[in-house]
Structures are given as C-alpha cells and as structure tokens.
Amino acid sequence: MSASSSPSSSSSNPVRIDRPQVRSSRFVFASPHSGRDYTADFLARAALPVSLLRRSEDAYLDQLFEAVPRYGASLVAATFPRAFVDPNRARWELDPAMFDRRLPSEAGPVTARAAAGLGVVPRLAADGRAIYAGRISLDEALERVRRHYDPYHAALKQEIAIVRDQFGEAVVIDCHSMPSGSARGADIVLGDRFGVSCAPGLVEHAEQAFRRVGLGVVRNRPYAGGYTTEYYGRPDAGVHVLQVEINRALYLDESRVERSAKWPRLAAALDKWAQDIMSYGEATRAAAE
C-alpha cells in the first residue's frame, strides 16, 4: 500500500465529526463504512489479513465527501472498520452462531442479515470468508458495540438534532460504495426504501444532479437502503434520509483497495453534486419567506 492509502494504525475516537464554520445547510453527510483504523488487537484475532478485511470497507468515502463542511454541511464518519463493527445495522443485530454463549433475551429474533454473517459484529468479510477461526466472546462483541457503535449513532443523532432545531428539518445523505460486480452497470444507486425514507422531490433532485455531472443512476435496486435509512428516515418528523451507493470502479482499485487514476474525476463530480443537492428546496423556501 502507498502511504496515502494505508489504514491508520490507531485512533482514540471512534467517530469523526467535521462541522462547518458556519452551518448554512440542512444536510448531514454520514459515512459509516469508510473507517480504516485496524487495531493490532483486532488484526491479531482475525483469521484474515488486513488486505482482505479492507474489502469490506466503503473505502475512502469520507475523503470523497470531505469538502461538504465548506458548503455549510456536517460530515459524520466512523473511524473503525466495518469488519470490526458495522454501524449500519441495528444495535442487537447479532449472529448467535459466532459467540461463546447464548444471546440475551433483549436481542430479539435473529435477522436475515445477522444469520448471513453480516450483523453489527460481522462474522464474514465482504468476499464471504470467515473473519475469525472460531467463536468469539459475546462480552467482547457487546463491548465493541458500546465503545464504537453507540458513539457513532450518538454523533449522528446529535447532528440531526442540531440541524433540525436550526432549520426545522434535516436531510441525511448516507454515503456508501458498492462492488462493481454488484452494481449491475449503474454508477449510482439511490435508496429511499422505495419512497419511505425521504421526500420524493429529494430523490428526484439527487438523481438529476448526478446526471448533470455525467453519472448514471438507478433507484433502490439492488440497494434500497440499510438500517440508517430505515431507522432515521422519518419525513413526517422532519428527517429525510437518502442512501447513495457509488460504484467502486469509478474511483478504486478494488483488489488492492487503493485509489485509482479515476479518483480526481469522481471527486470533482461529487463535489459539484454535493453543492447541487444542498440547493434542494432552497427556491421553495425562499418563496415561502
């Protein structure tokens, strides 16, 4: 790996919040899967090398959207890797097959995602390989959730509350990337839970803004939105959430998990798109005022 693309060696803070000097936008950008802080303890426990673990990342999404604070929005990014804890899952979305004892009753029914090894503490990496050689301690998993998952969601909730208090509503752009093999030829997949998680006008504006920068868009297939979209998306309560999936082939050497020569072009397009999407609704509000 080059020095510019290597994962960080350690971080004391599980979440990074980049706030604008002057908050002038209702938008909050979230990057739950771009963390690359692989601690020595985790790597020693894992049965896979970091080169394979990193394929679970939405690699460098936080860097692709790092300019949004300059335009008045905030950026919330997990620093821990998705293979360690996945914040785009429910807090108790655990796979009972991977732990040394039974889950407590408050865990509830096992979801399909958890049973498939893709719970809040994943059993499998992105390529379907087992992350661990055997079972791990449930106490350790719950401590990971407490120390990493909880702070991430506390930060996201805080930003949503600040924005909603100031502007009367909040718009969350949940930023993800997708393997080129699952993109089905699309550059971008927009997920709004099939019309549930945000206003229809927001999705339409987002789609047209992507087309204006030369990117092809489909909606909800194969990605309609995950836990963040489902949990936080409450348009009637003034919180709109739109999931954005970006084809990794547009910016990444997927096998090496390194930025490719295409990076500058996509970064420039996303910068224009971010400014465009943040203008959503401005004309309507100005007329109302």
Q: Give the tens place of pLDDT for each residue, 29-85.
A: 999 999 999 999 999 999 999 999 999 999 999 999 999 999 999 999 999 999 999
pLDDT of residue 8: 43
**Residue 154: inside a domain, yes or no?**
yes
Strands 217-219, 239-247: pairing kind = unpaired
Instruction: List the domain range (segments joined by +) for residue 229.
Output: 15-89+144-288
pLDDT of residue 5: 38
Planar angle of CA 69, 17, 188, nearest 5 degrees: 65
- Helix ranges, the chain (H): 40-45, 50-53, 61-64, 112-115, 138-144, 150-167, 200-212, 227-232, 263-277, 282-288
**Residue 153: inside a domain, yes or no?**
yes
**Residue 253: inside a domain, yes or no?**
yes
Confidence of residue 3 (pLDDT cuts 50, 70, 90): very low
Asked if residues 166 and 244 have their Cβ atoms less than 8 Å apart, the reply is no
CATH number, domain with residue 222: 3.40.630.40
d(CA 243, CA 165): 23
d(CA 129, CA 184): 23
pLDDT of residue 127: 87
Planar angle of CA 51, 63, 269, nearest 5 degrees: 115
**Residue 120: inside a domain, yes or no?**
no
Confidence of residue 285 (pLDDT cuts 50, 70, 90): low
Planar angle of CA 71, 265, 53, nearest 5 degrees: 90
| Spatial CA neighbour of 275 closest among 85, 25, 64, 12 | 25
pLDDT of residue 248: 98
**Residue 118: inside a domain, yes or no?**
no
**Mean pLDDT for the chain?**
93
d(CA 105, CA 107): 5
**Residue 2: inside a domain, yes or no?**
no
**Residue 111: inside a domain, yes or no?**
no
**Residue 96: inside a domain, yes or no?**
no
Domain count along the chain? 1
For 201-256, write each residue's pLDDT tens digit: 999 999 999 999 999 999 999 999 999 999 999 999 999 999 999 999 999 999 99
What percentage of residues in the chain have a pLDDT greater than 90? Answer: 91
Residue appearing with tokens 């003034």: 238
